[in-house]
Structure 1
């Protein structure tokens, strides 16, 4: 997966593709039907999806990378909009997260976080599906062709 180019900006809804840095911040493009480019100032909090993780319970690991959670969703539901998940039902959201991340930490992951996960996956599936492609397989193919 290639989530290093996708970001969430505090105070702005949705996801953004990072276009390039500017003198005052970063130029981003919204993931929408009609993408809009804007400049996000350096003072605003930008979270790159590659750096986000979700809390889990267990002995060794305390969190799982968002990339791995998306991979689990992709393997169970495929690339596409998650129409089976009702984001208004707390029980449905908890059933969903249990199916893709069985050892999720119920004390530290809130319903709003699960709803955001579903929303982000749907946005990526609809407007930037190449971010959900397996980069490990591509790297293996590149190494094989180089030899």
Structure 2
């Protein structure tokens, strides 16, 4: 899953795709309704590709977690982000067993699942060539072990 140009803009609902950089900021397109907005450089913007989740060993990129969710659900919709907190945290434990339970909250899991389901609905939850290569390498390694 490629999250390179997918943005979360503080104060604005949903996700956006970076379209064009301008002298004073950039133009982003909403994934929910397709409307384009201009965002100045003072806005608090997060690239999804730069977001990480705390683990006991450090941090894991959001891309890796989204890929785990996609594989678990065969690139289909995941559970709803509106589930109760215990269900959400249990779900994250299945997808990422080593997440730091003291530093990752149910609200974080809600965002991740909401973002994943939004991306999946827009057809962006697809296997990337790098993932395909990793799958082939993993199968080859397993074949060599036998």
Cα distance in 2 for residues equivalent to 1:29 and 1:85: 24
* Higher RCO, Cα 8 Å, sep 6+: 1
Determine if the alignment matches structure 1 residue 89 to structure 2 residue 88. no
State the partner residue of 2:98.
103
Determine if the alignment matches structure 1 residue 123 to structure 2 residue 118. yes
Determine if the alignment matches structure 1 residue 135 to structure 2 residue 129. yes
- State the 1:112 CA deviation: 0.5
Alignment of 1:13-52 (within 5 A): 13-32=13-32, 34-52=33-51
Alignment of 1:47-62 (within 5 A): 47-58=46-57, 62=58
Going from structure 1 to structure 2, the CA distance change for 1:85 and 1:99 (only over 3 Å counts) comes to farther
- State the 1:85 CA deviation: 4.1
Which of 50, 58, 62 is residue 66 of structure 1 equivalent to? Answer: 62
State the partner residue of 2:3.
3
Kept in 1: contact 2:8–2:46 (CA 8 A): yes
When normalised by structure 2's length, the TM-score is: 0.84
Q: CA RMSD in A?
A: 1.8
Unaligned ranges ≥5, structure 1: 141-147
- State the 1:127 CA deviation: 1.4
Determine if the alignment matches structure 1 residue 114 to structure 2 residue 109. yes
Going from structure 1 to structure 2, the CA distance change for 1:128 and 1:8 (only over 3 Å counts) comes to farther
Going from structure 1 to structure 2, the CA distance change for 1:72 and 1:26 (only over 3 Å counts) comes to same
Pairs aligned (count) = 134
- State the 1:23 CA deviation: 2.1
Which 4+ runs in 1 deviate beyond 4 A?
137-140
- State the 1:30 CA deviation: 0.5
Kept in 1: contact 2:81–2:110 (CA 8 A): no
